[in-house]
Amino acid sequence: MKQLIMIKYGELTTKKGNRNAFIKLLAKNIRNILIDEDYELIFDRVRMYITGSNLDNIIDKLKLVFGIHSIVLCYEVNTNKEEIIKSVLSILENKNFNTFKVDTKRADKNFSISSMDFSKLLGGEILKKFNVKVDVHNPELLVQIEIRTEGTFIYMDEYDGSGGYPVGIQGTGLLMLSGGIDSPVAGYLALKRGVDLECLYFESPPHTSQQAKNKVITLARKLNSYSGNIKLNVVPFTKLQETIYKNVPESYVITIMRRMMYRIAQKIVKKHHLKVIINGESIGQVASQTLTSMIVINSVTNLPIIRPVACMDKLEIIDVARKIDTYDTSILPYEDCCTIFLPKHPVINPELDKCILYENSFDYETLIDECVNNIEVISLKNNLKNNLL
């Protein structure tokens, strides 16, 4: 009896037109995530199968891959009545259960017994051999049999996949990644909808520390476990930020700073052929995230800005951060460029005219170009992972 993993595709099965593209990308993403494993993968339009030496490890990694509905540890036997029954009875010897149900799906219509009849037949054999009962509504053990032309699959252990779409099916977006709680969650939610990521981090040394940067690298690496392709762009923001603080009235510094961040992000999106900007803004959370602030800050770019956590409460965001294991890193107390020299009374309803007036008092274009030209790129790609810190 051969043991293997069967993957049931997720939401992608509803996208009939691009089904092949979805499945091929999913296979590529799985290969990327299993780079350190010894395995073989084959797939068709309905299922994907993986054989390998450490199936438990592989299952743990597959749980992070978007586009998978469920992951099933199963046994493959020949499509032959006696062999199926004998195999099931032998597998059940190692299982502890009081109630069960058999569920048969017959995709191979050459198999002469109907699904219903086969479930009854197999159920009868199980009742003969073990001291157990049938429970069709709430069985402790669900014995599933899939009779297909390529073989029959027997399984009892089915794990939930992560759902969503294969990462990259929508192209790549630029995630503004700070060390806070919100932006890693925003990145995770975008990945789940099939958007691959590049990350952008603004650092202001010496006002922000190496520890603050390391924290962002750790967060990017955690997000990379869902992608395998992530690059982190680190922008040297000190000079531009200091110039803003010298030239702009205190209440407007955050508004102007964020307009500069968007301008830089837009340039990177264009330069790297990305599609959108993604960030962790949440409506009303701070002065720069009132709707009026968002309008004024957003007006420097025509690019769509995706804000996956815009309408979530902080507690809801924290729940996700805990689930994806970014929370403990995010709450490490290192400063971000947005939190240094925080004004006492940041403007809540900024005026666009004033922003333009203040910005025209210094040569920000040159400073922005300097930022873009001096970006440090840290690649987290799986095959380069040994080159990291």
Residues that bind Mg ion (CB under 5 A): 182
Contact 381, 229 (CB under 8 A): yes
Work out how close the CB of 177 gets to ligand ATP at its nearest, in angstroms, rounded to a whole number.
5
Q: Contact between 173 and ligand ATP (CB under 6 A)?
A: no
Comparison of 168 and 280: residue with beta carbon closer to ligand ATP: 280
Residue 52 within binding range of ligand ATP, rule CB under 6 A: no
Q: Which is nearer to ligand ATP, 52 or 308 (CB)?
A: 308
Q: Interface with ligand ATP includes 198 (CB under 6 A)?
A: no
Strand partners for 106 = 147
Task: Work out whether 202 is an interface residue with ligand ATP (CB under 6 A).
Answer: yes
With beta carbons less than 8 A apart as the criterion, state whether 321 and 198 touch: no
Query: Is residue 321 within the footprint of ligand ATP (CB under 6 A)?
Result: no
Q: Does residue 297 interact with ligand ATP by CB under 6 A?
A: no
177 binds ligand ATP (CB under 6 A): yes
The conformation of residue 13, written as its DSSP 8-state character, comes to: G
Whole-angstrom Cα distance, residue 163 to residue 49?
18
d(CA 184, CA 69): 23
Is residue 301 classed as helix, strand or coil in its secondary structure? coil
Provide the minimum distance between the beta carbon of 300 and Mg ion in the complex, in angstroms, as a whole number. 20
- Is 387 in contact with 379 (CB distance < 8 Å)? yes
Q: How many CB atoms lie within 10 A of CB 129?
A: 12
First CA to last CA distance, the chain: 44
370 contacts 235 by C-beta, under 8 angstroms: no
Which tokens sit at 242?
A: 């200091």
Would you count residue 337 as binding ligand ATP (CB under 6 A)?
yes
Pick the binder of ligand ATP from 41, 89, 121, 286 (CB under 6 A). Answer: 286
Nearest to 196 by CA among 224, 218, 216: 224
Stretch that binds ligand ATP, among 57-65, 110-118, 276-284, 342-350 (CB under 6 A): 276-284
Judged by beta carbon distances under 5 to 8 A according to partner kind, the member of ligand ATP, Mg ion, none in contact with residue 201 is ligand ATP
Nearest to 241 by CA among 341, 126, 309: 341
Name beta bridge partners: 99: 133
CA distance linking residue 50 with residue 54, whole number of Å? 11
Alpha carbons within 13 angstroms on the beta-carbon side of residue 113 total 18
CB of 206 to Mg ion, least distance (A): 24
Among 6, 200, 223, 240, binds ligand ATP (CB under 6 A): 200
The site partner of 164 among Mg ion, ligand ATP, none (C-beta below 5 to 8 Å per kind) is none
Rule CB under 6 A: is residue 183 a binding residue for ligand ATP? yes
The SS3 of residue 92 is helix
Which of ligand ATP, Mg ion, none binds 99 (CB below 5-8 Å, type-dependent)?
A: none
Task: Name residues whose C-beta falls within 8 Å of residue 36's C-beta, 6 or more positions apart in sequence.
Answer: none
Q: Taking CB within 5 to 8 Å according to partner kind, which of ligand ATP, Mg ion, none is near residue 7? A: none
What 3-state DSSP class applies to 121? helix
By CB under 6 A, tell whether 181 contacts ligand ATP: yes
Shortest Å, Cβ 83 to ligand ATP: 56
Nearer to Mg ion (CB atom), residue 73 or residue 318: 318
Does residue 280 interact with ligand ATP by CB under 6 A?
Answer: yes
CB 43 to ligand ATP: min, Å: 36
Say whether residue 338 binds ligand ATP (CB under 6 A). Answer: yes
Q: What is the largest CA-CA distance in the chain?
A: 88
Query: 166, 180, 194, 228: which one contacts ligand ATP (CB under 6 A)?
Result: 180
Q: What's the gap between Cα 357 and its chain centre?
A: 41
Among 76, 182, 196, 359, binds ligand ATP (CB under 6 A): 182
Q: Which residues bind ligand ATP (CB under 6 A)?
A: 176-178, 180-183, 200-202, 279-281, 285-286, 336-338
